[in-house]
Structure 1
C-alpha cells in the first residue's frame, strides 16, 4: 500500500509532462511559462516534505498516507476543471503540498518493518513508484489527450489516488505482526526533537547529493516531451514512448540495485557516485541527438542513471539519522532534494526560450548530477557516532539521545 500510494502521487506529478503542451494551448500559456506550473507543484511538494516528515514521526505513516492522498487526489480532479492560468497555478501548488508527504510516510514504515540489511531491496521496490509513475503517465496521457482531451487524465488519476488513500487507511498498519514489544517507535506522543538532525553534516551533504540527482531526473521528466516535440519535431505519442522506455528500465533497476548492494554489502555511497556520474554523461549524449531512433536507443541507459540512485539515497537516510527520527529526516532531506525539482523547470524553460537550443537545455540538466556525485564523495556513513555496539553484540543506531 505504501508503494501504491507513492506510485499514484508519482503519476499525478508526471502527468504534467505529457499534458503540458495541450494545457498550454487550452489555457493560452506561453511556452516560456509552461515550467512555472511544474515549479508551483514542486513548491508545495517541498513544503509538504519539510513538514510531512515531522508529522509522520508524530502521527504515524498510516494517517499521513491516508489523509494526504485523499486531498491530493481531490485537487487533481479540480485541476481537470480549471479555466484560467492563475487557478491552475494555485491548484498545482495545493496538489504538491499534499502529495509530498507520502515519501516520508512510506520510508518511516519501511524503516520500522525491515532490518537495515534488508532495506536496500525494500527501498528499491518502494522507489519503483517514481519511475512507474512516469511510465503510466506517458503511456496513458498522450492517448487520452488524442481520444478525449487532457482534462480526463486528471480526473482519472485523481479518482484512483483517492481510492488508494482510502485503502491505505483500511489496510495499513504502523507495525508488522510481532513488533508489539519492540522498542522502535512508530510515532511519538509529543512533537519530535529535531536538534540532532540540524547538527548532522552528512544529512546536509546527502540533501545536496539528492538535489543534484533530482535536478537532472525531474528536469528531464518535466521538459523532455516538450523539448523533443518543439525542438526536433518528434510526434507527441513517440516522445511519450521514449519516456515510457526511460522510466520502465528504472522499474527493474531500482529493486535490482538495492538487492545487489544488500547482497554484496557495497553500501550506498560508492554506487551513488558512479550512477550520478553516468547519468550526467548520458544527459549530454542524449542532448546531442536529434532523431527518434537515437532517443529510443539512449532512453534505457538514461533511465538507469536517472533513477537507480534513488533507493540508495533513501536507504542511506536512516543510516545517517537513525530510526527514531527517520520520518523527519526523510522529509527534511527530500525537501532539499525536491528543491532541484522546484528550480529546474523554470530554469530550463528560460534557457530554451532564450537560446532555442536543445543541447543547451541538456547541458543545464547535466550540471545537477555532476554536482551530486562530487558532494557524495564527502559523506561519511561510517562515522563512529552513527553506529554503536549494543550489549548483545548487535549493531544499533543512536538517535535523539538514546540507542535503539
Structure 2
C-alpha cells in the first residue's frame, strides 16, 4: 500500500514538473492580435480603392484626381513613419500603437462626413477627401514599424522570419476580406456606411490591444518562465528595467544606419517593393473593372484574390527563410527567400499582363502579389536582424521609402494607364519588382549595424 502511494506521489510530482516546464504561448496570442491590427489597417487603407469608383462617379472626380487622394494618404503615411518609429523605440509599442490606431479610426469614420463638412466650410469635396485621407495615413504610419518592434521584443531569433510573415499575413487577410465587405456594404447601405463600420472595427481592435498587450514578455502576467527562456534565454519575470533601459537614455544610432550599405540596400529595395505593392493595392479593382470588364461584385471578389495570396504566401516566405538560415546562415536565408519571391512575382505579373483570357490572367496577377509578399516578409525580418534594439526606427525608415514608392506608383501608374494603357503600366512594375530583389542581395543580415 505504501509502495503504491509512493508511486502515485512520484507520478503526480513528475506530472507537476512537466506542467510547470510547459511553455505558455502568450507570444502567439499576441501575434494573433498583431494579425488583427494588420487586418484592420489593411481594411482602412484599401476601403477607398473599392469605394473610389462610386465616389468618382458621384462627385465627378477623374482617375488622375483620385490618384491624388490615394497619394494624400501616402504622404501622411510616409512623413510620419520615422517620428512614430522613434517614439516607439523610446516608450515602447503598447502606448504608441494605441494612439496611432485611435488616430486612423477617427480618420476612417470621418470619410463619410466629408461632403457635409466641405459644404459647411466652403472647400471642395476633393480637398476634403485629401485631408481626411492624410490624417488616416498619419495614424497608419505607426503600425508596421511598431509591430516590427513587437516581434523583436516577443519572439526568438529562430521564430523571427515566421513571425514577420504573420505580420504580412494579417495585412493579406484584411485585404482579402475588404473588397467583398466594402462592395457588399456599399450596395446595401452606401459608401458612407462602409467607412463608418471600418472606424468602429478599428476602435474594437485598439481596445483589445491596449488591455491585453505589454511592451515586453517579462511584464505580461500570463507568460511563464519556460516561455521566457524561449524568447529571451536567461531572463526572468519582472526583469524589465534592464531590458528596456535603452528606451530611456541612448539615442537611435542614425549615423550608423545612414552609413550602412545593408541599410541603404534594404530601404531602397523596399522602396521599389512599395511601388509594385501599391499597384496591386490601389489599382487591381480598377484594372478588373476597366480593363477586364467585370461588374462591381465580380471585381470585388477577384480583388480579394491578391490579398488571399499574400496572406497564404507571406508566412511561407518567412518560414522558408528561417529554414534556409538554420542550415546556412541568416543572410543566405533572407536573400534566397527574396529572390524566389521577387523572381516568381515578376514572371507571373508579366504573364498575367499579356494573357487575354481573364480567368487565367487575374489569378496569375494575384499570385504575383502573393509572391511579392513572400519576399517582403524578409525585409521586415531583416530590420530586426540589422537593428534588434532599434527595429521600430529602422523599419520606419524602410517603410518611409516604401511609402515614397507608393506615392510615385499611385501617380505614375494612373498616368501610364491613361496615356499609354494598362499594359505598359504593369510592365514597368515587372522591372521594378526585379530591381527590388537585386538590391536586397547587398543586405547582410548576419551582422547588426552596431557590429558593422
Same-fold call, TM cutoff 0.5: yes
Is the Cα contact below 8 Å between 1:142 and 1:236 reproduced in 2?
Answer: yes
Deviations 1:280-327 (A, max 9, x none): 222222222344312343245223223111211111111122x22111
Deviations 1:198-246 (A, max 9, x none): 2222111101111111211211220121122122322122222222122
Cα RMSD of the aligned pairs, angstroms, is: 2.0
User: Which residue in 2 is equivalent to 1:320?
Assistant: 386
Distance apart, 1:2 and its partner CA: 2.4
Change beyond 3 A, Cα 1:100–1:124: same
Distance apart, 1:190 and its partner CA: 4.2
- 1 CA distance for matches of 2:346 and 2:85? 29
Larger displacement relative to structure 2 (308-317 or 247-256): 247-256
User: Which residue in 2 is equivalent to 1:370?
Assistant: 434
Larger displacement relative to structure 2 (242-251 or 110-119): 242-251
User: Is there any run of 5+ residues in structure 2 with no aligned partner, and where?
Assistant: 1-32, 116-124, 219-235, 326-331
Deviations 1:114-148 (A, max 9, x none): 12111111111122122112112112111112222
Matched residue SS, 2:167: helix
Distance apart, 1:185 and its partner CA: 2.7
Instruction: Find the partner of 2:350 among 284, 289, 306.
Output: 284
Task: Work out whether 1:156 is the aligned partner of 2:216.
Answer: no
Is the Cα contact below 8 Å between 1:70 and 1:166 reproduced in 2?
Answer: no
Distance apart, 1:80 and its partner CA: 1.7
- 1 CA distance for matches of 2:357 and 2:135? 37
Size of the alignment, in residue pairs?
386
> Which gives a bigger RCO, structure 1 or 2 (Cα 8 Å, sep 6+)?
1
Change beyond 3 A, Cα 1:315–1:49: same
- 1 CA distance for matches of 2:451 and 2:336? 28
Matches within 5 A, 1:124-273: 124-177=165-218, 178=236, 180-181=238-239, 183-185=242-244, 188-190=247-249, 192-193=251-252, 194-265=254-325, 267-273=333-339
Deviations 1:147-186 (A, max 9, x none): 2221111111111112211222211100114453365437
Is the Cα contact below 8 Å between 1:53 and 1:331 reproduced in 2?
Answer: yes
Deviations 1:355-395 (A, max 9, x none): 2x22112112223212102212222334xxx2xxxxxxxxx
Matches within 5 A, 1:23-38: 23-38=55-70
Is the Cα contact below 8 Å between 1:53 and 1:330 reproduced in 2?
Answer: yes
- With structure 1 as the length reference, what TM-score do the two structures score? 0.90
- 2 CA distance for matches of 1:186 and 1:104? 20
Distance apart, 1:332 and its partner CA: 0.9
User: Which residue in 1 is equivalent to 2:119?
Assistant: none
Matched residue SS, 2:114: coil
- 2 CA distance for matches of 1:398 and 1:359? 41
Is the Cα contact below 8 Å between 1:73 and 1:161 reproduced in 2?
Answer: yes
